[in-house]
């Protein structure tokens, strides 16, 4: 079956702009989590959506938001971009059940100039 | 908010020897632990996991050990191969709410 698809793969934006990233999870998976990867910081948790509801949230400012649609596809939005937002954004999909692993997409590389 | 810590940013071992990657966590609600491997330009891929009711899980060359009292887990790779060279992420999950957190990663280099 198809894996986790993230679009676009690469993005260059200017400070102050906003951006929307998309994630299509594995068919049948109802949980989508978003992570930010920066050098030295590892994978920092942004938020998790399950059945269209935000179930968990990390410690990121309100400029970072997300949503999940009825088909489990998810979008992440970052408003008023800052240079420090440059990172690899990874989406992970899972069934949302206990004791199961998450499957990652290839990520979207966002560069803010 | 570093609930999962990997204190060694890098590790270098010789091919055929054992690689030991370590991970510590602080949240006592975590009860499911995973290791992921990541190659450049790819997303992390699942490697092995362990639930808190066990202290060891083995899958081929990979073994994960869990010490709940110390809030510590480790990944052993025996024997190490050059293809194992990658960044390894430790993850911990609280299964009651599916909250999964990752460490900063350890870059493993296996030298031929």
pLDDT: which is higher, B52 or B41: B52
End-to-end CA gap in chain A: 37
* pLDDT cut 90: percent of chain A above it: 87
CA–CA dist B103, B12 (Å, integer): 19
Report pLDDT for B95.
Answer: 80
Indicate yes or no: CB of A48 within 8 angstroms of CB of B99.
yes
What value does the mean pLDDT take over residues B38-64?
Answer: 95
Token pair of A105 as six digits: 């997409």
Which band of pLDDT confidence, cut at 50, 70 and 90, is reported for residue B1? low
Residue B6 binned pLDDT confidence (cut-offs 50, 70, 90): very high
Average pLDDT over residues A30-45: 90
pLDDT score recorded for residue A17: 98
Q: Look at residue A49 and tell me whether its pLDDT is greater than 70.
A: yes
When CB atoms are compared, the residue of B9, B36, B100 closest to A33 is B100
> Does the beta-carbon distance from A106 to B43 stay under 8 Å?
yes
Task: For chain A, list residues whose CB is within 8 angstroms of any CB belonging to chain B.
Answer: 4, 31, 33, 35, 40-45, 48, 50, 55-56, 58-59, 90, 92, 94, 96-99, 101-107
- Whether B79 contacts B15, CB under 8 Å: yes
What is the DSSP code string of B48-103?
EEEETT-SEEEETTEEEEEETTTTEEEEEESS--GGG-EEEEEEEEETTTTEEEE-
């Amino acid at each position: 079956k198809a894996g986790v698809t993230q679009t676009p793969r690469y993005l260059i934006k200017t400070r102050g702009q906003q951006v929307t990233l998309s994630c299509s999870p594995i068919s049948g998976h109802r949980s989508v989590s978003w992570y930010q990867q920066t050098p030295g910081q590892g994978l920092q948790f942004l938020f998790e959506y399950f059945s269209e509801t935000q179930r968990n949230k990390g410690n990121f400012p309100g400029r970072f938001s997300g949503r999940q649609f009825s088909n489990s596809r998810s979008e992440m939005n970052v408003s008023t971009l800052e240079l420090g937002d440059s990172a690899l954004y990874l989406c992970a999909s899972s069934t949302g059940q206990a004791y199961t692993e998450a499957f990652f997409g290839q990520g979207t590389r966002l560069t803010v100039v | 908010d570093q609930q999962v810590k990997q204190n060694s940013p890098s590790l270098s071992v010789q091919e055929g020897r054992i690689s030991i990657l370590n991970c510590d966590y602080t949240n006592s609600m975590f009860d499911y632990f995973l290791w992921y491997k990541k190659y450049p330009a790819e997303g992390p891929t699942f490697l092995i996991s362990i639930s808190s009711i066990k202290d060891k899980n083995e899958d081929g060359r990979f073994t994960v050990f869990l010490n709940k009292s110390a809030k510590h887990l480790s990944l052993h790779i025996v024997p190490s191969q050059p293809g194992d060279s990658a960044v390894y992420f430790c993850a911990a999950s609280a299964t009651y709410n599916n909250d999964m957190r990752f460490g900063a990663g350890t870059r493993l280099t296996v030298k031929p």
